[in-house]
Amino acid sequence: MSAPASNTTLATSVEALLDAMDRLPSQGNVALRVLWMADDPMTGLAELARVVETDPVLVARLLHLANSAYYSPRTPIGTVERAITLLGFATVRTVATVVACGLGSAAAVPNGFWQHASAVANAAQLIAWRFGIATGDAFTVGLLHDLGRGLLHVADPVQSAEIDLGLAGATATDAASPGLPSHPIEQHAATEPGATTDGTEESGIPRDRLQLELAAFGITHADAAARVLTSWRFPPTMVDAIAHHHCTIERAPSDLVRLLVAAEAVADRAFGAWGEPVDREGGIAVLAIEADRLETIVQRVRTESGTLAAVLGR
């Protein structure tokens, strides 16, 4: 059995991956061109469709999504233009980002990635009205909010899985004991009193995912995603929301961040936490809606997000 890679080696592999992602725009990546065009109000439907059609992988994913039960078209969608019309530019932009990152399958991402991403995206769409956010933008930040976890998994799937396993017991205990405090949120290992380099407190109790990622990779998944999306000219408001999606409602710097924190709390109600810090109480309280309406939203997330996850993770 080989010795585990050092923290320095893991950090180097992550940096190499992020550098490669940063260089993608200069390589004429079709998916990134589509991403930028979809965000440009001057781009027309036919113009966007022509560029999409030059990438067979992107065409296949958009047509499969458009024809899925999640969208339930009245007649089969057979052209890229019709698919874009049904899905909308925001969804096309989101799918293009996934394709550009090489995360368009279940094998390329951590276990449960697409289920969680789909649940948060679905929840974000359903509660977007509460924050005055367009549903397309809500879907985008919801689906891409954990992009960094996929990137760290690609950089070192073994270490990524070990972090998941190490947090699984703590998450189960937390879920079974509502009186316990939530995981620490956005506290960096480098500045934590009593921090050690192996991702534990001096007492030996594991810290939250963000701290474990810092100890292992030198960067959190939220910061990794923000770096890549900044290089790819994503709207700064979306980059900021994804970078801060683990903060508390009280510390959320914008309505888009508050939406994402609340969507994570709704997804947590529907499926439980995915080994991450969640502001459960604040995220639900900020919605200020009746219990029966909240339960309706939670039930819709349970039923609808599974269909979306099956399409995205195929």
Judge whether 152 lies within some domain: yes
More confident: 287 or 169: 287
Position with higher pLDDT, 101 vs 173: 101
Domain contains 1: no
pLDDT at 119 over 70: yes
We report the CATH number of the domain holding residue 189 as: 1.10.3210.10
Q: Predicted confidence band at 182 (pLDDT cuts at 50, 70, 90)?
A: very low
Give the pLDDT confidence score for residue 275 in this predicted structure. 82
**Are the C-beta atoms of 278 and 181 separated by less than 8 Å?**
no
pLDDT at 189 over 80: no
Q: What is the mean pLDDT of residues 10-26?
A: 75
Does residue 2 lie within any of the structural domains? no
Would 267 be classed as within a structural domain? Answer: yes
Q: Count of CB atoms within 10 A of residue 92's CB?
A: 25
What domain range includes position 189? 7-312
Cα distance between residue 122 and residue 118, in whole Å: 6
pLDDT in the model for residue 293: 96
Residue 174 is assigned to a structural domain of this protein: yes
CB 249, CB 262: distance < 8 Å? yes
At 168 the pLDDT is: 62
Q: What is the mean pLDDT of residues 150-165?
A: 87
What's the average model confidence in pLDDT over 48-66? Answer: 94
Of residues 271 and 203, more confidence is placed in 271
* Pick from 259, 290, 260: nearest CA to 276: 260
Q: What percent of the chain has pLDDT over 90?
A: 54
Query: 111 in a domain, yes or no?
Result: yes
Q: Is residue 169 part of a domain?
A: yes
Q: What is the pLDDT of residue 198?
A: 41
Q: How many CB atoms lie within 10 A of CB 268?
A: 23
Give the residue-averaged pLDDT of 219-238.
92
Neighbours of 51 (CB within 10 A): 19
Q: What is the pLDDT at residue 5? A: 56
Task: pLDDT band for 222, please (50, 70, 90 cuts).
Answer: very high
Torsion of CA 227, 237, 84, 28, to 10 degrees: -30
With residue 209 as reference, give the H or E element that holds it.
helix 209-217
Of the segments 56-65, 259-268, 302-311, which one has the largest average pLDDT value?
259-268
Q: How confident is the model at residue 255 (pLDDT cuts 50, 70, 90)?
A: very high
Q: How confident is residue 193, by pLDDT bands cut at 50, 70 and 90?
A: very low
User: 């010795």: which residue's tokens?
Assistant: 3
Task: Calculate mean pLDDT across residues 203-231.
Answer: 82
How many structural domains comprise the chain?
A: 1
Q: Give the global pTM.
A: 0.82
75 burial type by CB count under 10 A (0-12 exposed, 13-18 middle, 19+ buried): exposed
178 is written with which tokens?
A: 């509502």
From the number of C-beta atoms within 10 Å of its C-beta (0-12, 13-18, 19+), residue 186 rates as middle
Average pLDDT of the chain to the nearest whole number: 83
- 296 occurs within a structural domain: yes
pLDDT band with cut points at 50, 70 and 90 for residue 133: very high
